[in-house]
């Protein structure tokens, strides 16, 4: 895998239990800072759909 520039939300501060995202030209990679070797690869369309679903509260319990 290419070298990725991982980013996490500023709300996490120095926390170690945060989602991290790396955006590449053809994919978006997502991982947890607790399990950095477990990486999910999403297409840009899948990423947009996921972000939209989160914003719309589709995963709220």
What are the tokens at 2?
Answer: 């290419």
What are the tokens at 1?
Answer: 């895998």
Could you read off the pLDDT tens digit of each residue along the chain, which spans 61 residues? 568 999 998 988 777 789 999 999 999 999 999 999 999 999 999 999 999 999 999 999 8
Query: Whole-prediction pTM value?
Result: 0.82
6, 14, 26, 36, 57 from 33: Cα distances, Å: 10, 11, 22, 5, 23
Collect all residues with Cβ–Cβ distance below 8 Å to 26 and sequence separation of at least 6.
Answer: 43, 44
Q: What is the pLDDT of residue 15?
A: 74
What are the tokens at 5?
Answer: 């520039």
């Amino acid at each position: 895998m290419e070298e990725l520039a991982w980013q996490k939300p500023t709300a996490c501060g120095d926390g170690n239990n945060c989602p991290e995202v790396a955006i590449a030209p053809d994919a978006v990679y997502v991982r947890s800072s607790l399990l950095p070797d477990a990486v999910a690869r999403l297409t840009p369309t899948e990423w947009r759909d996921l972000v939209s679903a989160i914003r719309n509260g589709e995963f709220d319990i």
